[in-house]
């Protein structure tokens, strides 16, 4: 059979997190509740920032985009897994797998890019406070967001286009709960050497460089904070960065665990746990981290809830 025919007729089977039938209802309830909490939590963050004029600043502009990205990020993988559990089917079409792969590559890389831009925003705010509004003007914020999107769309398109040249056998079993590119390429019938090289290169480019930029920004931030004489000033400066550092640690810690397992022939349970942390837990916890550690966000959310109550009474 020709490689093109093999690929066109391929059906992928997502084996999920567990083969135990008794655990499926538990997994369904757990991931359904997590998905709902993630979508509602991040949506509340977006609405609070949109309707509170005090939050129309560069920091919250990027936070609202991060929340929108988190909604798209978790919606790329979890709904399909819930459908498969509910219908007791593991199948996903070749086209559906490519679409899921494409969206996952976009939103995972966009998460990394947005966290980097937010670190730069905090760097300017703390290290150059007098020039903050001049540097972080609306035009620059728009250009930074445009750069993030264009970079992520470009690298995702490249990897998916390269995946089109790879042929797969029928009913390929993917030992994952979504079509993760690295695991899928291991099951190819043809040689995926070029795809693997490009993936390693782009992962390093969009993973190591943003992380290095974040670490550099925070090294300068910490140096500036330590030079502040008053304890109250140090606490205020640290509190504005604490939420972002927590999100960065969670995202990159789990992501590092996932991509260190690239070379493994068989994915371990630890790899699956890291994947869940990276794709599900991190987007779900982000709104809680930013709202619980931020007085402005708590105030905006309180106002939003009060307004919604008034509208419901009317």
Considering its fold, how many domains does the chain have in total? Answer: 1
Domain holding 40, by residue range, is 3-313
Task: Decide: helix, strand or coil at residue 10.
Answer: coil
Q: Identify the bridge partners of residue 313 per DSSP, sorted by sequence position.
A: none
Give the model's confidence band at 8: pLDDT under 50 very low, under 70 low, under 90 confident, else very high: very low
SS (H, E, C) 131-200: HHHHHCCHHHHHHHHHHHHHHHHHHHHHHHHHHCCCCECCCEEECCCCCCHHHHHCCECCCCHHHHHHHH
- The pLDDT > 70 percentage for the chain reads 88
Average pLDDT, the chain: 85
Residue 131: count other Cβ atoms within 10 Å of its Cβ.
10
The values of phi and psi at residue 191, to 5°, are: -80, 115
pLDDT single digits (tens) 147-192: 999 999 999 999 999 998 888 876 688 888 899 888 888 888 888 8
Residue 225 pLDDT more than 60? yes
Q: Which strand (E) or helix (H) includes residue 67?
A: helix 58-87
Residue 170, pLDDT score:
66
CA distances from residue 257 to 68, 187, 271, 274 in whole angstroms, order as listed: 25, 21, 7, 6
The CATH code of the domain that includes 184 is 1.20.1070.10
Residue 6, pLDDT score:
46
Cβ burial of 117 (10 Å; 0-12, 13-18, 19+) is: buried
Please list, in sequence order, all residues whose beta carbon lies within 8 angstroms of the beta carbon of residue 13, skipping any fewer than 6 positions away. 90, 91, 92, 171, 172, 173, 174
pLDDT single digits (tens) 52-79: 888 899 999 999 999 999 999 999 999 9
Q: Give the separation between CA 193 and CA 215, rounded to whole angstroms.
A: 32
Structure-token pair, residue 48: 């609070």
pLDDT single digits (tens) 231-278: 776 777 777 777 788 888 888 887 776 666 655 545 556 667 778 888
Residue 5, pLDDT score:
43
pTM: 0.89
Residue 9 pLDDT more than 70? no
């Amino acid at each position: 059979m020709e490689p093109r025919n093999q690929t066109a007729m391929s059906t992928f089977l997502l084996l999920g997190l567990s083969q135990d039938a008794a655990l499926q209802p538990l997994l369904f309830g757990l991931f359904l509740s997590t998905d709902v909490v993630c979508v509602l939590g991040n949506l509340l963050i977006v609405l609070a920032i949109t309707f509170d004029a005090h939050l129309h600043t560069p920091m919250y502009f990027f936070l609202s985009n991060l929340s929108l990205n988190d909604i798209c990020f978790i919606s790329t993988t979890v709904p399909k897994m819930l459908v498969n559990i509910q219908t007791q089917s593991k199948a996903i079409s070749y086209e559906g797998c490519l679409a899921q792969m494409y969206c996952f590559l976009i939103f995972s890389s966009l998460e990394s890019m947005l966290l980097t831009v937010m670190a730069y925003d905090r760097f300017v705010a703390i290290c150059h406070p007098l020039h903050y509004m001049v540097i972080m003007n609306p035009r620059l914020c728009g250009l930074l967001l445009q750069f993030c999107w264009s970079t992520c769309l470009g690298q995702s398109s490249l990897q998916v286009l390269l995946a089109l040249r790879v042929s797969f056998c029928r009913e390929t079993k993917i030992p994952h709960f979504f079509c993760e590119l690295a695991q899928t390429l291991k099951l190819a019938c043809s040689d995926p050497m070029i795809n693997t090289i490009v993936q390693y290169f782009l992962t390093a480019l969009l993973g190591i460089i943003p992380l290095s930029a974040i670490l550099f920004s925070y090294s300068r931030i910490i140096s500036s904070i330590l030079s502040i004489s008053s304890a109250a000033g140090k606490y205020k400066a640290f509190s504005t960065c604490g939420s972002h550092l927590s999100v960065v640690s969670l995202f990159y810690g789990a992501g590092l665990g996932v991509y260190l397992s690239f070379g493994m022939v068989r994915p371990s349970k630890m790899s699956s746990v890291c994947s869940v942390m990276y794709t599900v837990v991190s987007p779900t916890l982000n709104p809680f981290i930013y709202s619980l550690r931020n007085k402005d966000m708590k105030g905006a959310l309180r106002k939003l809830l009060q307004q919604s109550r008034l509208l419901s009474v009317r």
